[in-house]
A and B are shown apart, each in its own frame.
Chain A
Amino acid sequence: MPLSTQSQADIDQYILIASLDNARNLSNILKAISFRDHAIFSATQNGLKVTVEDSKCLQANAFIQADIFQEYIIKEDTVGFQVNLTVLLDCLTIFGGSTVPGVCTALRMCYNGYGYPLTMFLEEGGVVTVCKINTQEPEEPIDFDFCSTNVTNKVILQSDSLKEAFSELDMTSAVLQITMSPSHPYFRLSTFGNSGNAHYDYPKDSDMMELFQCTKIQTNRYKMSLLKPSTKALALSCKVSVRTDSRGFLSLQYLVRNDDGQICFVEYYCCPDEEVEEE
């Protein structure tokens, strides 16, 4: 157990303590949403939620449940703060990428409350580093009002098939168009680039399709620049669920397995680019 040098008095003042034997279980998943500098941390009894937003059109959330942590103590109903995510990730990886198997960085993250910095104790091979990152007033995350009852179309795919498509997407296209339909082409990703159009079709009876629930034909376009960061989350994940609601808002939910095989979730919400007439 790392960092047993702290006294009981120190521990008492913290309103949030979260410890991990392997800091990568946190840093990997946070890298999947690190497209902006600032992140909103929101901790509850259930675990930690980290939110990153872009231009009021895109929101990414990473969920790390309480049982992922070796130690998780929270003394209030909710604890929220905002920190610089880039700095936080630099601290989590302060010992560099460890390629030696079995050697990993241990983490204890502590927070005294409003106005106090986020304190992180990191230990590897007997060397301890203490990082204190200033916190800010947490902004209210956008509520995309995406609830299950409004979902018109939903598919769950194995990530491998989408990874291929996303790695080949024509970047000269300003938008990514997603078509979901109960009939052909079922689930289609389209780009409109300088050389021409490209379409990636996934039929509903494909091996890769785990769930296919489409009630009506919907075609929506999303800015490519907004969706590009989601490729990081896709790369880590083994399954992805794609849902659109009646307004055309997109929800991408990624199931990520960490180094220890535990499950965490990352989700992306994105606004549609423009009104597209439904075919």
Chain B
Amino acid sequence: MKCVIEGNGVKVFGKAVHALSRIGDEIWLDPLEKGLAVRTVSSSQSACACFSFTPLFFQQYIPDPDIQKGCEAVKCKLNMKCVLPLFRCASWRERSVDRCEITINIPNSRVIFQFHCRHGTTKIYNLGYQECEALHAVFPAHLCPNVLMAQSKLLGDIVVHFPVSQEEVTLCISSFKVTLKSFCEEENNCIKGMNTELMLHPDEFDCFQVGEDSAVTFCLKELRGLLSFAESYGLPVSSQFGVAGQPVSFTVKDMTLEAHVVLSTLTDPNLESPSQPAPGGVDEQILALVKHNSTLAVRIKVVFDLSLQTSSFEVRSSKAEEPKEQMWAPSPCQKQKTQTALTPASRKQPPVQ
């Protein structure tokens, strides 16, 4: 693969790499006939992002120079830590970089980034890569009942109210309003920290389509990269989602590029069957317990007895006294699938004392 990016495009590409670096530690380069796809996935596999650059974006785009020899275009994976510094210091780079050439050199297993700068200076970086399979997030966006589209400036103004440390937020949609609020795993934290809730009228959106009232909880941190990219270029952001447990997708489109971020959401314990298959018997047990107590906001305490290698579960009602011991936090991967979320009915309850 060989491509050449002119002047301002280098800055755009750099910002795209920055946005991807907020999600994953590795960057996939996938040269396709329809353009270059640059992807990443988070370490917990709960978020996947892809920037697709059409051939229009490049001054020159050759996905596979050896197509006559019957070789397939190679897909490669690079360490984000190696690629990100090349596109750092955007402010002076935009002044000094005239052109950037990216080449995948198969015989030497190297991706070559060549920056042609002012005054004739050239910077050449030969980075080692790992050959890999293409990375895809299977997400049928057209099947999503809910679609929102808003200007990036609006979204930027909204997320600025959430502290940078805020991991997850809940997006609730109904036919008469949209709410975005901070999500806390444990009710203790809700009381101690600052919670933010913003309500938006459907008129504020360029596109507002509600197929099904729902509340989806996803990681805001992983989305911030895409939002700041969209804001830099004043592009609208559209979002497709369904009910809790189904992934939410955010898209930014332009003539020359398309960016998607797909995030997993927390499951809603009220569902009859979990929308995501649970790995093994443990999660099914928890869900069964939660279903039984679904009318109350519940907390699940998991106790691991390492010597016996068993685990037991204790379900407490939120109205019970606060347990003195610390709660064990499940691993980030499991959390996505098994953690409780406040049920729609209990959202209206006052915070637990």
Contacts and interface: CB of A to CB of B under 8 A. Distances in A.
Interface string A64-78: 000000000000000
**B85, B119, B122: most-surrounded residue (chain A CB, <10 A):** B119
Interface string A195-210: 1111111110111100
A225 B90 CA distance: 28
B127 interface: yes
Nearest to B79: A195
Chain A interface residue bracket vs B: 10 to 19
Contacts of B126: 196-199
Contacts of B127: 195-196
A200 B123 contact: yes
B120 A198 contact: no
Contacts of B92: 164
A198 B121 contact: no
Contacts of B96: 164
Contact of A205 (B79, B120, B122): B120
A167 to B, nearest CB: 9
Nearest to B128: A196
A188 to B, nearest CB: 9
Interface string B119-163: 111111111100000000000000000000000000000000000
Contacts of B124: 197-201
A150 to B, nearest CB: 29
Contact of B128 (A195, A202, A203): A195
Interface in A58-114: none
A206 B125 contact: no
14 contacts: A161-B119, A195-B79, A195-B81, A195-B127, A196-B126, A198-B124, A198-B125, A199-B122, A200-B122, A200-B123, A201-B122, A203-B120, A203-B121, A206-B121
Given A203-B121, A208-B119, 19 more contacts: A161-B119, A195-B128, A196-B82, A196-B128, A197-B124, A197-B125, A197-B126, A198-B123, A198-B126, A199-B123, A199-B125, A200-B123, A201-B121, A201-B123, A202-B120, A205-B120, A206-B120, A207-B119, A207-B120
